[in-house]
Amino acid sequence: MARQKPKVSEAELAAVTEELKQKFETLTTEENQMAKSKAKVKTPGAVNRLGDKLVKVNENFTINMYDNGYMIEVGGRDDEDNWKTAKIIVDTVDELLVLVREATEIERAD
């Protein structure tokens, strides 16, 4: 003899669905917060200023926009007069603008 499954009302299904939805949203929020806090951790020894790598800059630079931040790429000369390229990734436009301002204040390469 086949066993019958208990019938579940639409209200019970809706309540369970809503509970699962709330749990999912909570987990997603926690995961996003963890990812943001992890992204704020700076790598020791990482270049975060153009002056850490370049003493002279070329007359142009490139900015790339990504889903999670920005990258500025600046070519120029190091303290031994060798050609170098600095590529720095930042999270916010404010951090990017600091680097753009720095690039405009460093001496231009020949």
- What's the average pLDDT block by block, 10 residues per block, for the chain (110 residues)? 75 89 86 71 70 94 95 96 94 94 92
Strands 69-77 and 56-66: antiparallel
Specify whether 73 is located in the same domain as 27. no
Report the pLDDT value the prediction gives residue 4, as an integer from 0 to 100.
Answer: 76
State pTM to two decimals: 0.59
Specify whether 79 is located in the same domain as 60. yes
Specify whether 36 is located in the same domain as 62. no
Distance CA(54)–CA(109), nearest Å, equals 10
Sheet containing 83-90: which strands, arranged edge to edge?
Answer: 56-66, 69-77, 83-90
Specify whether 58 is located in the same domain as 101. yes
Distance CA(73)–CA(85), nearest Å, equals 7
Number of domains in the chain: 2
Report the pLDDT value the prediction gives residue 1, as an integer from 0 to 100.
Answer: 58
- For residue 110, tell me if it sits in a domain: no
Specify whether 79 is located in the same domain as 101. yes
- For residue 3, tell me if it sits in a domain: no
In angstroms, the Cα distances linking 84 to 41, 59, 75 are 26, 14, 6
Specify whether 23 is located in the same domain as 67. no
Report the pLDDT value the prediction gives residue 3, as an integer from 0 to 100.
Answer: 73
